[in-house]
Structure 1
């Protein structure tokens, strides 16, 4: 669903007049000021996704009505009811589907200072966009494909990005704390100054990109892979199990108070400059580290 503030404003005004509501009456129903409604209708600003959903309910329209590609004229609600006996059932079904976000194509947009908290099921429809200072907290973005995006200063706290694919994107200064990235795939992407504290990276794969200055406090690393990735200014801690580091370049990387089990290291550059502080490893991991010429100071071999 392509969104344009001027187009949306015109459609809000058209639908409002169709059901004989003033700007003040509409504002009262959605708990905002009449001035805000006026700004929408003039194209000076636009409502967020949650408010658009509420407007669709008030106007008894499908969310696709706000799309630039939607050209169907509104008819009187009574005419719709008389000509379509099952109108209410159809409308309820379409709204429940669109409330889940299944037909919202948010690609090729410039999104800034928007609140998308609670968004669901975008899947492949959020690519080639500039996204800045937006909120996606508690969103279900599982299976999401983010390709060729610039994402900066956004808050994804406590969101589900299981099985997501982040491709050829730049992620800068974003909050991913308490997110689930189980089986997520990051490829050809630059990830910098992001907060992954308390995030679940089980099964996640970082391939051919950069992972720099990221916060990793209490991050769950299990079956996590870093392949051909530049890793710098990162502290790994806690339990690291069944993980894979291959073909990576390390700069100012520290493993601190970590328990590293069954973890593979191969063809990594500058691994000897990685610092290990109070770390414990099993014999298999120790063998991989030694073969990769790691500095084994600060490492204790588990019995």
Structure 2
């Protein structure tokens, strides 16, 4: 059983010990700073799922919030005990996620290869020349990160969210980005050779000077993205280009099937020895693209 005032005191203590502000903690939990304030004043308490995430972020065991770990400064009066609100914590036998968090860090030349379940543990970090080779980074959340010269070869980065981040000169060879969303992120000079972009969304950012040889393009969306110095090759299926800015972009030896181009001016896009279905051909022609390098696919 837990007393809301005891919980609040313990959240304050653990947060201050990690030198984290209410705003920083709220950002990592994707809630408002006002909600953190209510917890710390004992006016409300987190739900069980949030308790788990809170323990990970603050670097404490889940049982830290129980009365067994109550500090001498957190003793309650009889009046407080009579008014307390209680919740049940999971039993000690229940398997818990690792209680570690590496957000807000500066990581240089570190080897994290083979890691799993990173989730949100690297948010707001600077990472340079780090290795994540063969890692399972599914459901990874990176927000406000700088990632430079890191190696993600043969890694699974499925259903992840990369927000407001800079990714420069990284290697993603032979990896998977299935269903990952990049928003307001700048991706430059990266090697995506033989990378699976199925279901990937890139919006409100930049995709420039990247190597994308033998990559898989299926249901990939570029929205409000600046695409520059990139060569698309091979087959593209059900892809989407909306309000993108193109600079030195080439489609070479490509088969374009059901590709949506919502752009008024595609004059800067070059097509060399390409094939396209009728609907894609019409989109390109209406966008004033030079279609001399495109032949229609036979039905």
CA distance in 2 between partners of 1:203 and 1:261 (Å):
15
- The 8 Å contact of residues 59 and 100 in structure 2, kept in 1 or not, is answered as no
State TM-score, norm by structure 2. 0.68
- Tell me which residue corresponds to 1:251: 247
Unaligned residue ranges in structure 2 (runs of 5+): 1-13, 16-56, 62-91
CA shift for structure 1 position 293: 1.0
C-alpha spacing 1:268/1:119, structure 2 compared with 1 (3 Å): farther
User: Alpha-carbon deviation of 1:125?
Assistant: 2.1
| Superposition deviation, residue 106 in structure 1 | 1.3
Contact 1:153–1:173 under 8 Å retained in 2:
yes
Aligned to 1:284, which of 279, 284, 287?
279
2:209 paired with 1:207: no
RMSD: 2.1
Note if 1:300 corresponds to 2:259.
no
Normalised to the residue count of structure 1, the TM-score between the two structures is: 0.67
Pair 1:276–1:263, CA change in 2 (3 A): same
2:102 aligned to which of 95, 100, 106: 106
Render the CA deviation track for 1:132-166: whole Å, top value 9, x for unaligned.
00000100000000000000000000100000100
Give how far 1:267 is off: 2.3
Deviations 1:203-241 (A, max 9, x none): 000000000000010000000000000000000000000
Indicate if the aligned counterparts of 2:264 and 2:288 stay in contact, CA closer than 8 A. no
C-alpha deviations, 1:88-123, integer Å up to 9, x for none? xx79x86xx55xxx4321110000100000110111
Residues 39-58 of structure 1 correspond to what in structure 2 (within 5 A)? none
Runs of 4+ in 1 over 2 A off after TM superposition: 67-71
**Structure 1 residue 167 displacement after superposition:** 0.3
Instruction: Kindly indicate whether the alpha-carbon contact (under 8 Å) linking 2:190 and 2:211 is maintained by their aligned counterparts in 1.
Output: yes
Maintained 8 Å contact 1:155/1:174: yes
d(CA) in 2 for partners of 1:202, 1:119? 23
In structure 1, stretches of 5+ residues that fail to align are: 3-66, 72-89
2:149 to 107, 132, 153: 153
SS of the aligned residue for 2:227 comes to strand
Q: Aligned runs of 1:1-303 on 2, under 5 Å?
A: 102-267=98-263, 269=265, 271-303=266-298
User: SS of the counterpart of 1:288?
Assistant: helix
The 1:286–1:162 alpha-carbon spacing in structure 2 relative to 1, beyond 3 Å, is same
Q: Give the drift of 1:273.
A: 1.4
